[in-house]
Structure 1
Amino acid sequence: MIEETATVVDATPDHIWVEARARSACSSCGTQDSCATSSVSKLFGMRRQQLRLPNQFASSVGEQVIIGVEDQVMVTASLAAYILPVVLMIVAAIAADIYGMSDKQQAIVALLGLLLGLFGAGVLTSNRLMQRYFQPQLLRKITPHPQPLSLKGRGEQEFLLQEIPHERS
């Protein structure tokens, strides 16, 4: 499961709207200071994306939550977005070649195949059933870390106590 932290920006008893910052791959790269691609990424800034999810944990505005998408969903979305258009472009170009079209005509038919693949990917992912399949899931709230308690003993030494959260199995 691919997980991301999001902030609740609006809430009703039934639904919440969460906002997650879209990050580029450059944000985790060690050579981002000397990379031209990173400079271009910084120029366009970070995009914010809002999603509507069921409010199953009674979340309120300002809380941090974890949202997630199953790995299989990401693979399916990648196949629809990248593979389908390219495959249709190649099939269209091969068909144009078999029919003996000129190079210019083959290029136009290949471009039409690519556009048909992009349109098909959009249609495939836009119906209600697939939208539910691609919808991220609200996994859990992020609980804030408790503040340490300071206690002074007899010898004026300071003891710090911190509650250690334990996970349930």
Structure 2
Amino acid sequence: MLEQTVEVIKTAPDGIWVRAVEPSGCGTCGGQGCSSRRIAELFQRKPRLFLVDCDLSLAPGDRAVVGIADGSVLKSALRAYGVPLGLMLAGALLAQVVQPGDGPALIGMLLGGMVGWLVARGGRTVRPVVLRRENQPPFHLMKG
């Protein structure tokens, strides 16, 4: 199972919205901010939020560990990329059988791609689930 530490952003009736918590560094430089981390920060996009299933009572600001089943990433990738690509090729080949030429092949490829896109969008995707709360430190420092 693939696991990731997340921070709860908000709750919803069908789950919770979370944002992935990135580690401070790879550990080689002791978190001091090596050049490769600084370069990566230049190209960093705005953090994305994800809806995950949750059976625990969590509030915004809590940290938890979410997991997704092994193989589900591969299945999703095949559905998102493999099905449209396969149907594009099948559409182009079928069009070549019916009417040889580049024009019919292009039309068949486009039609197959549209059908593949519709098929890939359909169906239910497997959402990650909250596995456990992140281990809290035994003491809590307070300002003041």
Task: Say whether the fold is shared (TM-score over 0.5).
Answer: yes
Specify the SS of the correspondent of 1:71.
coil
* TM superposition shift of 1:110: 0.4
1:140 and 2:144 matched: no
Secondary structure at the residue paired with 1:3? strand
Q: Secondary structure in 2 aligned to 1:60?
A: coil
> Displacement, 1:49?
1.5
Whole-Å separation in 2 of the counterparts to 1:120 and 1:97: 23
Q: Distance in 1 between matches of 2:52 and 2:129?
A: 10
* Structure showing greater Rg: 1
The aligned residue for residue 77 of structure 2 is 78
Once the two structures are superposed, the pairs formed by residues 83-162 of structure 1 within 5 Å of their partners are: 83-123=82-122, 125=123, 130-131=124-125, 134-146=126-138
The residue type equivalent to 1:119 in the other structure is L
Partner residue, 1:42: 43
> Aligned partners of 1:32, 1:76: CA distance in 2, in Å?
32
User: Which structure 1 segments of 5+ residues have no match?
Assistant: 148-169
1:65 maps to 64
Name the count of aligned residue pairs: 129
Larger strand proportion of the pair? 1
Contact conserved, 1:18 with 1:53, CA < 8 A, in 2?
A: no
Distance 1:2 1:96, change over 3 A: same
Take 2:103 and 2:87, find their aligned partners in 1: how far apart are those partners? 18
Equivalents in 1 of 2:53, 2:115: separation in Å?
32
Q: Tell me the amino acid that sits aligned with residue 146 of structure 1.
A: P
Cα shift readout 1:95-134 (whole Å, capped 9, x = no counterpart): 11111232022112102111110111111x2xxxx34xx0
User: What's the C-alpha RMSD, in Å, of the aligned pairs?
Assistant: 3.2
Q: Distance in 1 between matches of 2:136 and 2:120?
A: 41
Q: TM-score, structure 2 length as denominator?
A: 0.72
AA aligned to 2:2 is I
AA of the residue aligned to 2:136: P
